[in-house]
Amino acid sequence: MSEQRLAGRVALVFGGGQIPGQDTGNGRAAAQLYARSGARVVVVDRNIDGAQETATIIAGEGGQAVAVRADVSVESEVEAAVMACVQTYGRVDVLHNNVGINAGDGLLTDVQTAAFDQMMSVNLRGMYLACRYTLPLMCAQEKGVIINIASTAPIMSYPFAAYQMSKSGVLMLTKHVAINYAPFGVRANALLPGLINTPMAIEHQTNRPGASRESVLAARQALTPLKNATATAFDVAKAALFLASDDAQFITGAELVIDGGQSLRAG
């Protein structure tokens, strides 16, 4: 186990499972690092098998974790997941909102209403619900940390309208929580990942005709200014761990970009 920066704390990770692939997903990596740092972790995912696999990995590393099934687009399931965390471990110290999708998207006039509604429901409304049911607990504790996984999409030229708008909403949700719940000792920050090599980002591209894993990774690396940068979910998780720890006790309302300089490029 690594340095126990979260010893005695409880982390609730929404989106802690993942689809099959060679890489580790953002939610699983965060759950693993939280556990390695001493936190007891509740891994929530719509796919209970994926959540259980993450919990099993954590247990294999000597940590404590349980798996809970919940679809963030269903309010009663989000509430039940938060309550399951309290029933299991007695509190919620860190809320990590990782769930996000990008399906049926494109330029604004190409996006069907159903696809727009689905992305807003999962990417933004799901985080709102998780915050809504967790914040009263954190306020009662007079301490808590919320970490919302956004994207660099809101700060770049980006061709997928619904995803960009949903992640822009995540940034404003984070700011709202940060300023309005600061008097209760609650901090809220957002992470803005760029081209991170996760199963969700990589696997569907390698299935395209003529594509190989090597060519997909090379193309993504070519877009990253930072020399020889190959980003993994653990790069995002390390930032999340910092923000969740007391090392960041005076940081709230921040937007931390993790993209190797990609968003700094113009043109």
**Catalytic residue among 128, 133, 163, 181, which?**
163
Q: By C-alpha distance, which of 16, 133, 31 is closest to 74?
A: 133
Distances, alpha carbon 58 to alpha carbons 2, 14, 38, 193, in Å = 13, 16, 11, 24
Task: Work out the burial of residue 76: count CB atoms within 10 Å of its CB; fewer than 13 is exposed, 13-18 middle, 19 or more buried.
Answer: exposed
d(CA 35, CA 56): 12
Whether 128 sits among the annotated catalytic residues: the reply is: no
Phi (first) and psi of residue 84, to 5 degrees: -65, -35
Q: Which residues pair with 191 in a beta bridge?
A: 149, 256
What is the set of active-site residues? Answer: 163
